[in-house]
Structure 1
Amino acid sequence: MILAKNIHKRVQTSAGELSILSGVNVSVADGDSLAIVGASGSGKSTLLGILAGLDIPSEGSVSLDGRNLNELDEDGRAKVRSESLSFVFQSFQLMPGLTALENVMLPLEIKGLKDAAKRAKFYLDQVGLEHRANHYPPQLSGGEQQRVAIARAFASEPKILFADEPTGNLDAHTGAKIIELLFQLNAKNNATLVLVTHEQRLADRCHHQLILEAGVELNAATTAQIEQQAEALMDQPC
């Protein structure tokens, strides 16, 4: 389970202190999926990084897979990430000097898994890229690179999968295929899925949605109230 309480994130800028997140709460049960949505600059990616232990909050606590990240140093958080989670990045984050197969193998080899090559080939097959295993990222399309990134993420068979705008650099047709693939593999692996997206079609596939506006969480009731108020204003005579 992922449990984040009263998350605040503040940073110092030349103009003074900037508040990125203010009092956000997150709870995701094992095997569930959550979409974090909101306009650009609303704090979505910052929140994702905090939930994954890539960043620390200015205030509040995060529990990931039963471990309180606030009580761990960077090495401790890195150990939790290595053992429990994987990432799918918008920009793919593939090593250009490694083949598709080697990119999928890399985190498995770092973990010391003896069946790294076998497992990497299996997950490349799962994403339909077994015939591109020996190609380098520059030789692959954007959709193919994202499929390699997804294979790499799932090859570690994580308990939790984080995805930051996984379709952001893809056209609509390719993005739709990636969405389907992401949820198919997630269902097979029974992992917890937390993703950031600006696409409503992707958010609607998740069990839950968390809406951020300027770093503040909008719950379903608040969103409904805002929509009702907007409709009421539109109905008023000029």
Structure 2
Amino acid sequence: MIKAENLHKRVPMAGRELEILKGINLEIKSGESVAVVGASGSGKSTLLGLLAGLDEASGGRVIIGGTELGQLDEDGRAAFRAENVGFVFQSFQLLPALTALENVMLPLELKGQQDARAQAGYFLERVGLGSRLDHYPRQMSGGEQQRVAIARAFASRPEILFADEPTGNLDASTGAHVIDLLFELNREHGTTLVLVTHDLKLADRCERRLQLEGGALVAQ
């Protein structure tokens, strides 16, 4: 499903190049749940961004389901993500002027899905927010906002879900509930899950770990 070959990422810094990722090689199978772990600054979020097509590699290749992301232009990668990929971020990334229902409907409408309202309502019901459809993000707790983000991610029925520290802004109890929900939906829909986390207990719930140290993959 996901394959990285000799993946590098370098960025200019103070007149030189800083190498963030150093020759990453990995494969993630369809339907697998994988945790990406490592110390702060080890390259976890950078790797996720490259695997998801949110960023371009300095060298190497990312191939998803036979499509090489490096061969697509920015618009092509955006279209590929819209069709195949879902995201859950630490910062929720909800649009404040839209209700919960409208936030979940938006990516479905952009894809031209005719039953966007029904699908959005169904997934908000699944995450326990059926009574909050018309509420705006500012009217919701952090945990509720993250549940909206999860509903939005799954509503488009993506092949792959990328989650970057999805409980980072939540208290322990709320975070545990959100993670239970994430894995429950993941199992139901057979989605490939790639989860960036510093929480080793959370990583243990995944089928496999990818361990990064200093931009290098040291265990998988």
Letter in 2 for 1:108: L
Q: Show structure 1 runs of 5+ residues with no match.
A: 221-238
Letter in 1 for 2:202: L
CA–CA separation in structure 2 for the residues paired with 1:110 and 1:73: 19
Letter in 1 for 2:98: L
- Aligned residue for 2:162? 162
Pairing of 1:124-139 with structure 2 (within 5 A): 124-139=124-139
CA–CA separation in structure 1 for the residues paired with 2:88 and 2:128: 17
Higher helix share: 1
- Aligned residue for 1:204? 204
- Aligned residue for 2:3? 3
Q: Contact conserved, 1:162 with 1:194, CA < 8 A, in 2?
A: yes
Report deviation, 1:151. 0.2
SS in 2 for 1:107: helix
SS in 2 for 1:55: coil
SS in 1 for 2:147: helix
CA–CA separation in structure 2 for the residues paired with 1:114 and 1:123: 16
Q: Show structure 2 runs of 5+ residues with no match.
A: none
Q: Contact conserved, 1:24 with 1:217, CA < 8 A, in 2?
A: yes
CA–CA separation in structure 1 for the residues paired with 2:219 and 2:37: 12
Report deviation, 1:189. 0.6
CA–CA separation in structure 2 for the residues paired with 1:138 and 1:191: 30
State the percentage of identical aligned residues.
Answer: 63
Q: What is the TM-score when the length of structure 2 is the normalising length?
A: 0.98
C-alpha distance after superposition, 1:115-151 (max 9, x if no partner): 0000000000000001111110011000000000000
CA–CA separation in structure 1 for the residues paired with 2:72 and 2:15: 32
Report deviation, 1:65. 2.1
Report deviation, 1:184. 0.2
Pairing of 1:36-185 with structure 2 (within 5 A): 36-185=36-185
SS in 2 for 1:130: coil
Report deviation, 1:201. 1.5
Report deviation, 1:75. 1.5
Which stretches of structure 1, 4 residues or more, deviate above 4 A after TM superposition? none
Alpha carbon RMSD of aligned pairs, Å?
A: 0.9
Q: Contact conserved, 1:3 with 1:26, CA < 8 A, in 2?
A: yes
CA–CA separation in structure 2 for the residues paired with 1:43 and 1:9: 9
SS in 1 for 2:117: helix
Q: Contact conserved, 1:65 with 1:84, CA < 8 A, in 2?
A: no
Report deviation, 1:56. 1.1
Report deviation, 1:78. 1.3
